[in-house]
Every structure is written in C-alpha cells, then in structure tokens.
Chains A and B, each alone.
Chain A
Amino acid sequence: MTNELAANQENPDAMQETSDRKRRRILGTFVGLALVAVAAILIAEFDAGISAWFKARGVAKNPLEFPLIAAALGLIVNGLLRGTKTYAFVEPGIKTELFLKIGLVLMGARVSLPDLVTKGAGGLIQAVIMVAAVFFFTWWLATRLRIPETLKAVMACAVSICGVSAAIAAAGAVLAKKKEITYVTALVIVTALPLMALMPWIAQAIGLPADVAGAWFGGNIDTTAAVVGAGTIHGEEAQAVATVVKMAQNAFIGIAAFLLATYFVVRVERKPEEKPGVSMIWQRFPKFVLGFALMSILASFGVFSPAAIGTIKVLYKWAFAMAFFSIGLELSLRELGKMGWRPIVVYMSATVFNTVLALGVATLIFGTLGL
C-alpha cells in the first residue's frame, strides 16, 4: 500500500489508473449485489409459484425446493455473464460466504440451546472422526499421486473440513498459490452442487431419520452453503442438524491451519524459528459460529417472540437464497482442466470415501447412540 502510494505520487497516470480501478470495483460490487438481490426476489417468486402448483396437484412436499432453483438460476446467469464477458465486473458483489453467514447467524434464533448442546456435542465427536480420517486419506492418496505439497494441503483441508473457507484458511497457512485456491474452489463447487441435489433424495429413498440425514449432509458435503441447501431440501429438522454438525466441523479450521502452518515451517521449509503462535487458532476461528450460538442463547431466554422468529425465518431464507444463487454463479469449469487429472482423481476419491464414512459415523452417533 505504501509502495503503491509512493509510486502514485511519482506517476500521476498510475494514480489515475488506481483510482479508476477502485471506482470500477465499487460500482461492480453494487451491481453484483443488486443482481443477487433481484435474483433472490425471482427465486422467491418461483418458489411460491412452484409450491402452489404442486399443492394444487395434491403433492404436499415440493420436490423442487428453493436451493435447487437458486443454484440452477445461478448457473444460467453464470453462463450469461461469462458469455458476455461481464463476470469480472460483477464478481466483487458475489459474496457467497457473507450471505451464508448472515443467514446462519439469524438461523441461531430457531435452534434451541439444549438442541445446540446435544447436536453440537454429537457434531463435535463426528467432526473429530471425519476431519481426521478424511484429511489423512486425502493426504495419503495425494502423496501417492505426487500432488504438490501446497495443493495437497489445500485440498485435504477443503474436502475434510468445510470446502472453500477451509481452502482459504489452509492456503494462508501454507502460502499456497492463488491459482491453487481457485482450482480447489472449482472442485468444491462441482462436487457440492450434485451432492446437494442427490443426498436428500438418497436419504429419503433409504429411509434415514431426519437427524441422521442432517448429520450425514453435515459430515459429507464440503461447502457449508450446500450443506444448508441439502438440509433445506430434506426438511426443517435435517436443516437444523446439518447446520449444527457442519458448524462443529467449521470450528476445526483454526486448529487445522495452525497445525499445517507448523508442519510446513518445520518439515517442508525447515525454518523452526518461524513457528506460528497458538493465537493463530483464534485468528482463523470462524466467528460467525459465535453469532449463531449467541442468537440461540437469546432465543432460549425468550428474547424473540414467536412472531419475531417467524420473520427471522423468512429473512434467513432470503440470505440462503442469495448464497445458493451465488454458488451457481461461482462455478468455473475452465479452472478444472488446468492441473491435469491427478488432483481430480484425489478429490473425487476423497469425496466418495467421505460420503460412505459419514453415512456410517452419522448412523452410529445420531442413530444408534441417539445423540
């Protein structure tokens, strides 16, 4: 920043260019946000219309729940924006994680404190098993297929913890290249979207109880937005369990980032004197989880009336619609061809391993043990 300022003082043309770029970015943010807001209104209208259409034909549960509509609309608009070369302009306004986190904080008002504690405890046990098993499986397979160290770390975190945000945290810890994050983001989305659509359907087909189904979605699907989407498609109970279980998994980002940074400094770069401090665990901790918990505590103490909770439910539905639409917008298939077949094989194998293991662990913890 200081260098940029000094360079600008010496070169007025560079200063003009920087300020033009900044103005363009601000404008792009507003246009992007407006685009997502208009899409959310369209999704709400479609959802209301489709539900009424099915209800009129005697189908009580709408099979085309709004996460599917939102993601499909996102994919269509994605194609249009990339086709017209306007994607880069609106990209700063596509804030998938922010929309999702706002929705999750609000959703805390619907989850009672006892539910948060019991499902959260079950979620933590499941998270320890899943994160450790999936992380080391991915690491092992990636080593065998000679994936570069930094890409291996980013992929293992993304598939075992929570997709894009874990990939970003891991990338910061191991100083991965930006193109590796973009690549893993594409992998995360290309696997999460089909899982979001298929898993609720499979859970219903094999007769999984709602809480086991929710724990399965939370333990398996990488990105939190798609976990919430799958839960929403299944039903309200699965949505709450999936969200709590996924947030328990999210809480591991800080620990994973700290351990990875330590491993890279000591073993890969061999500079033990630069070991990161334990404060990194807190720095990387996803703070929105605290917002969710605080909202749940306030609701449990009766701060929100039933009418207020009803309105809050509608508000988080809007926030989620914006997040699901944005996941469709973020998909970039072009990125997938850039690093060859090996990382794709690793990621897909890890996803299959994750799916099967999560089903077993969720059935054991939330079904057999009844947490």
Chain B
Amino acid sequence: MSRALGPFGAVLRRDLLLAWRGRADVLVTLAFFVVVVCLFPFGVGAETNQLRSIAPGVLWVAALLATLLSLHRLFAQDHADGTLEQLLLSPEPTVLWVVAKILAHWIATGLPLVLVAPALAMLFDVDQGALGILILSLTLGTPILALLGAVGAALTLGLRGGGMLLALLVLPLFVPVLIFGAGAVDAHLSGTGADAHILLLGGGLLGALALAPIACAAALRIAVD
C-alpha cells in the first residue's frame, strides 16, 4: 500500500469499525428513512397512480432528510473526545482523511439507504425497469449529499442548536441533487431516457469530490482553532 493511502486506510478502517460497533445508530437512520417513506401514502392517499407518480420524489426527499439527520455524527464524537484535534495536528494531509471519514460515513449511512430503496419503491408500485435507474441515481447522488453535508457539519461543529442550523445551511445546496436524482427516475419512466440526469449527477459527484473536502478541511480547522 502506498504511503498516501496509509492514513486514508487507517481512518476509513477505524470509522467503519466504530460504525459497526455502534450499529444501532446506523439502523436508526435506516429506520427513519423507511418510516418517512411509509408516511406519505397516509398523507396523500393510497391511490396507486398518484403513489406511482410521486414515488421517486418521496424516496429522494426521504433519503435527503435521513442524510441530514445522520450528518451531525460525522465529526461530533471525534470533536468531543479530542480525536479531531489530534488528526488536525498530525502531519497527514487533512483533505485525505476528511475524504476517508466521509466515505466511511456514506458506507455506514448512505449505502444501506440505496440498498433498501428498491424494496420501498415496490410499495409505491414503481415500474420494475426503473429500479435500476433509482439505485444508480441514489448511488451517485447520496455521496454528493454526504460531501456537501460534511462542510455544513464541520461549520456547525459544537454549536448550540447546530442541527436546525445545519438543515438551513445545507438543504438549499441539496436542491440540484434532488432535482437530478428524482428527475432521472421520472425521465426514465416518461421514456425520454435518464442519461442526461445520470451524467449530471456523475459530474456533480466529481465536482463535489474535488471541492467539498477542501472546504470541509478549512471549516474543521476553523472550528477546532
């Protein structure tokens, strides 16, 4: 393993292990996602055609809210026990281990949502052919949410009422992801093809991967300073 991957792998392994040891927390995020999605038929009525048409949007909004609620755990624990300070003091590049932390966070909270989403889509009677597009859009989109959210989580680290503030900061930034993510499934169902949406999501993911860790690292340094 090359030298640069050393700290990356170490932080990734550590965070995944921590997530595994505290898997109840992770399951709560997943349960929240399922419950929110299941609430919609009660709110808008169980008419099949209507459910089918709102399904992509409902799944995406629920995934977005579940991501938002899990974000505070990204740095809070490490901030409280001083690990974050030690990581910042270490000579390893901050951006590198920030990406590792975000990746571990996404594997623990984002990936389960992606895997459960098709089952929930069945509850809304979504066309089977669109399930692949739904999984693809969520696979590309939820990491963007995690990356953007990490910047907000770092900025609101240790603040009173940080949760609400975090929502106000990051939800407007999530709008493009929501549009293209839910739009991909809609476009596939309407027959226009989801290529453009998927490509834009992929581009968004690369852009976020390039820029968000830098902003996140700067925000962490300010927060711990």
Partners in one complex: no
